[in-house]
Amino acid sequence: MGCNLTVAGLRTPERSRGLQPLASLWLAALVLCGGCGGASEPRASAERPTLRVGVAVPEVGYSSPSIGLGSLLGSLSGDRLFTPDNNGRPQSQIFDRWERSPDGLVWRLSIRDGIKFHDGTIVTAETVEQDLEPEVRQALRSPGLIDVSTITAPDSHTVVIELKRPSSLLMDDLSGKALERSVDDHAVGIGPFVADSVSSDRASLHAFDDYFQGRPSIGRLELISYPTVRTAWAAMMRGEIDSLYEVGSEAADFVEAESTVRVYSFARPYVHTLGFNVRRPVFKRPEVRQAINEAIDRDAILHAVLRDRGRVAQGYVWPSNWAYDRSLPAFVFDPDAARRTLDEIGLRVKSVKGSMPERFSFTCILPEGMPLFEEMSLVIQKQLFDIGVNMRPESVSFADLSRRLATGDFDAFLSELASPRMLGWAYRFFHSPTEGFQPYLGWGYTAADAALDKIRYGLTDDEVRAGVSEFQRVLYDDPPAAFISWDERARAVSRRFLVPAEPGVDIFPSIWRWKAAPPSSD
């Protein structure tokens, strides 16, 4: 099932449709979808119920013109080649086994039997080969695919990928690729649901009974778009929708208080980030960026902005990743130490005509129409002002933000960077441009190149783990950003449905296994 990915600061929904370069840098977090209310029973399709999901842009949180029903359709109608577990290890249902040669140059992947596309066509190794080849040719921002030399299908069940040099990031990039085929200029997937009709505000899907993981328990899905959270909530109270797709921190308390729903929380692999353009004179010295890290009270931000839903961040790497090094130092809130550092390097408080005294000032761009970042910027602005640094927030359009982040036309930015459990996105954000590879951020950061190359070309777990530890250390000693907090989101579902749930795990990928609850359990 699909997930959301953030490009260069702005989070943009991954449509589960392949390794398409993320079209924008900022993630606009989707939707509060309504999910309970009224006493009506779930409408049935044959013996299976219809599940109605409301989709709305949160009033406090993220918004983007690109958000809509289409961002959900891909995850419902497609399955990706690989998905990471919570520890960042690749998992796959499409392949029943995979192995790498001792020299790391050849990968053999075996396709399980019985997988069908929605049109009934059987998935073969040749299908996978044809689907992957265009991705390899366009791998400018996919470090795991850049080194692919050939993809072949020696038989109907085996895909062989040969590399020019070893790459531990191959699985990372394959994890973003959804398997599909083109029929009459339409993409046909292998997921649990098939789209029947799609408009700007509504989509209808039916169960794909030949889904390779099993016959869906939900007969039909109705996706309904609402202009605001309030209208979605009203529809939920009237029993018109059954599930809130995403509950942000601003609405979670309100939704949890409603007795007719259950709320399922999970940590999202996105880190709120204040990033610096190290080409700017004031940010060239690591000491300045370290002082800003010490001046930020992350616990206060978590409480005031995220309503204590999330966790403090001390770096970019997903904390549950199998290679994460917990022994390394972390920044603590110490404004006195920040002031001393800035004094020692000559950035003392000076009088500014017509303004308050300051050490230096900089402009911080953030996406307009995203109140969460606007609120966060004001809290950070005050914290930095307390050490004599003047941060000037500037909200810019989505298109302008994407352009400026890619070209380096900024002093600093505040947004959300994807850190999707595996390690490939660290390379995409923090490595400098090289032959055949173009990072998403034009911030001039090069300090982590050696560590990231160790991760990319590591042959063993120990080699990758050493690279990750070095990368974490570099981000502390020579920080390109202040990593502030990991976000938490939730899904809400009417008690009229039974949901297979694990603590802290997103329930949406299991939507095809949800069932109507017996009347007594409501």
Which residue segments constitute the domains of the chain, with CATH numbers given? Answer: 4-19+28-79+190-265+489-521 (3.40.190.10), 83-180 (3.90.76.10), 269-487 (3.10.105.10)
Which residues sit opposite 57 in a β-bridge?
none
Tell me the one-letter amino acid at 213.
Q
Which residues in 6-20 are b (16+ Cβ under 10 Å) and which e?
bbbbbbbbbbbbbbe
CA gap 376, 13 in Å, rounded = 22
Closest CA to 249 of 265, 227, 226, 271: 265
Amino acid symbol at 274: L
CA distances from 463 to 89, 266, 315, 412, 426 (A): 16, 30, 20, 33, 16
For residue 205, which amino acid is it?
L
Phi-psi group of 215: left, alpha or beta (phi > 0 → left; psi -120 to 50 → alpha; rest → beta): beta
Residue 234: what pLDDT? 76
How many beta carbons lie within 10 A of that of residue 264, not counting itself? 20
CA distance 322 to 325: 9
Residue 397: Cβ within 10 Å count: 12
pLDDT of residue 3: 36
Mention every residue, 6+ apart, whose C-beta is less than 8 A from residue 167: 104, 143, 144, 146, 147, 456, 457
Note whether 218 and 510 are within 8 A (CB): no
Would strands 261-276 and 481-494 be described as parallel, antiparallel, or unpaired?
A: antiparallel
> What number of other Cβ atoms are within 10 A of residue 320's Cβ?
14
Say how far apart CA 116 and CA 363 lie, in whole Å.
52
Residue 388, phi-psi category: left (phi > 0), alpha (psi -120 to 50), beta (remainder): left
Residues in the chain: 522
CA–CA separation, 472 vs 488, rounded Å?
23
- pLDDT 10s digit of each residue in the chain, 522 long? 333 323 333 333 333 333 333 333 333 222 223 233 333 444 444 489 999 998 875 443 443 333 456 667 888 998 989 988 989 999 988 999 999 999 999 999 999 998 999 999 999 999 999 989 888 888 888 899 999 999 999 999 999 999 999 999 999 999 878 888 888 878 899 999 999 988 878 899 999 999 999 999 999 999 998 877 677 777 877 889 999 887 766 667 777 788 888 989 998 899 999 999 999 999 999 999 999 999 999 999 999 999 998 999 989 999 999 999 999 999 999 999 999 999 999 999 998 787 889 999 999 999 998 888 999 999 999 999 999 999 999 999 988 999 999 999 999 999 999 888 999 999 999 999 998 899 999 999 999 999 999 999 999 999 999 999 999 999 999 999 999 999 888 888 999 999 999 888 899 999 999 999 987 654
Q: Is 491 exposed, middle or buried (0-12, 13-18, 19+ CB in 10 A)?
A: buried
Q: Which two tokens stand for residue 166?
A: 């070893």
What are the helix and strand counts (H, E) for the chain?
Answer: 14, 26
Q: Rounded to the nearest 5 degrees, what angle is found at the Cα of 341, between the Cα atoms of 483 and 280?
A: 60
